[in-house]
A and B are shown apart, each in its own frame.
Chain A
């Protein structure tokens, strides 16, 4: 595959390195000539000095035959423009944008760039999942379908401990497909399953009812 990477910072450099190792044809576009030199020293002639937001630069880089355009600069506005230009001017089949401000994910999607990676969000989620005090953890973002897959850790004080699943008032369109119980192991619950201290409850719910679901399980 021919992949153009716009932005030769840490993310762009390591991405290019990994893709080259996988045998792809890679071109990195970077505005800063010092960064270009550093990349060329390490990876050879896979880097071009230029502004990936400019259509002329992209044309020279062969954007018209690129299979994938990846925009990983530190500025969301630049990443948006790169992907829009690639898509609209050069008909690049796949564009992937890095998002620095997690709030921009929705904006990108509305402006036609659906494939995004929010490094800030990924790091935040990773850290949150390491914090034992955080009772509700996003496992996977199903937001484009209006759904959330969440993981709820019960503690002794949680409102649902000792209750049967059927006795909880779960919001509509919420399901609990899995419980990881300290005592009983992994189980697929039914209405009679009694919730226990230290249970890990995996649930799917609608984005807007996430808080109500949390309240039913943890009572907070």
Chain B
């Protein structure tokens, strides 16, 4: 599978590393080249410096050929806009975006995108752990 990941923070880098180890073809984008230091030295994928809500950057990074797109930057709205561009403009078959704010997540979800809210997921896990 060819996967594009927007945002090379802790989550983006860890996701890229996992997929790369499973022999998927990974392209990771970030505005800041310094963020790519999070990737392991044996990372086989491509890293591209640029803004993931810029059509031209996405094209240059090869979005037209990917099977899946994950938006995991710090900005909820940026993730949501990038996810919509991937879905509606480049017709990427599988698109997932991270949304911190649970209220916004619900809304975006109702607008037809696959979303994951770490706030909801982690607080649920923490509650379970505390009650165990």
Contact = CB atoms under 8 A, between A and B. Distances in A.
Interface string B66-90: 0000000001111011001100110
Contacts of A106: 55
Given A54-B104, A85-B107, A89-B107, A77 B77 contact: yes
Contacts of A88: 111
A77 B80 contact: yes
A77 B107 contact: no
A53 B53 CA distance: 17
Given A56-B103, A77-B80, A111-B85, 5 more contacts: A53-B77, A55-B107, A77-B75, A80-B77, A107-B89
Contacts of A55: 103-104, 107
A75 B54 contact: no
A159 to B, nearest CB: 32
B56 interface: yes
B81 to A, nearest CB: 4
| Count class of interface residues, chain B | 10 to 19
A76 B53 contact: yes
Given A53-B77, A77-B77, A80-B81, A103 B56 contact: yes
A85 B104 CA distance: 10
Contacts of A151: none
Interface string A79-113: 01100110011000000000001011011001100
Interface string A45-81: 0000000011110000000000000000001111011
B113 to A, nearest CB: 11
A78 B77 contact: yes
B112 to A, nearest CB: 10
A56 B107 CA distance: 11
A75 B77 contact: yes
Nearest to B78: A77
Interface string B118-131: 00000000000000
A85 B111 CA distance: 9
Contacts of B80: 77, 81
Nearest to B112: A88
